Amino acid sequence: MAGRGAQVLVILIVTVFFTACAQHRDLVPSTLSDPPPRLFGAFVYRGVWSGMAPVEALERSLDFQLAIVHWFMNWDTAWDERLVALAAQQGRRPLISWEPHRQPVTAIAAGDYDDYLRSWARGAAAYGEVIFLRPFPEMNGDWTPWNGNAPALVAAWQRMVTIFREEGANNVKWVWSPNLTDEPRTPENSLERYYPGEAYVDILALSGYNWGTARPWSHWRSFEEIFAAPLERIAQLGPQPLWITEIASTEQGGDKAAWVREMLASTAFPRLEAIVWFNQDKEQDWRIESSDRSLQTFREALAGNLLMAQR
């Protein structure tokens, strides 16, 4: 998301059970009598780093047990098993967005940060449990400092994964997560050019938002209108599961509660295994609790929707 900077954010994902239908390559509407289960995600500001109180507060407001905690770390921070273990309490799984704000991708690709990568890899290997790692998020967006040199980013990604494997950190699952549109929209900046290859990616993911009428260039769009074409696009890159690692809607220009209800009830994308809400009052009030009606819709949908299964 534009302007994120180095500020730590937290995302929570509710773990549910994967089904065989999630392995299907097609994205046509499901004809199954039971819709495919998937993960549900919610962003929570200031979690993990300041303790788990923000996480637990959101869980109480939703009356729903969350299971995966996602937070942002920059490359000036060392591996910290304490944070990972904190996030993993009560069966939650840690998901880390890893952002090199001051480390050029060319230098990473050249090996200048190998020692740093090995320190993280050894820590992750010693931890032993599954960690979802999301490096270079939204790399096709010009608001990120790692944007603009796709060949170098691919080389940096492949070098990173190779180092982790050399150190035995096979418990790390790699989440590749571009923005749903290329910004700028040039051939050189197409998300496909940033793809490091199926052998280096465990999850294909996207970030995307419903800006409603909050910007001169935006208008109200449904969940399926926003994500159908981009999900189809990344699905062509490989057979991996699909996630939406950042998603939210404004209240401006439409009915947010109805938008949320559609998002949680949609069966249009059988291969989609996770939806991760971005829960912060930032450029817009993206939060689940931006209104009483929005919060109540989340509570009701998570309690009764066949797509979501509380662990």
pLDDT bucket at 307, cuts 50 / 70 / 90:
low
How far are the Cα atoms of 24, 26, 94 from residue 238, in angstroms, in the given order?
11, 12, 24
Under CATH, which architecture does the 9-101+131-141+171-304 domain have? Alpha-Beta Barrel (3.20)
* Range with lowest mean pLDDT among 81-85, 139-143, 306-310: 306-310
Q: What is the pLDDT of residue 45?
A: 85
Q: What is the pLDDT of residue 214?
A: 93
Asked whether 261 and 302 are in contact (CB, 8 A), the reply is no
User: What mean pLDDT comes out for the span 275-290?
Assistant: 91
Task: Work out the percent of the chain whose per-residue pLDDT is above 90.
Answer: 68
Domain ranges of the chain: 9-101+131-141+171-304
Q: Examine the pLDDT at 2 and tell me if it is beyond 50.
A: no
Chain segment 43-94, per-residue pLDDT in tens: 788 887 888 899 889 989 999 877 677 889 999 999 999 998 988 888 787 8
Q: Which of 266, 243, 221, 260 is nearest to 29 (CA)?
A: 266
pLDDT bucket at 16, cuts 50 / 70 / 90:
very low
* Range with lowest mean pLDDT among 106-110, 117-121, 215-219: 215-219
Residue whose entry in the numeric block shows the structure tokens 């793809």: 195
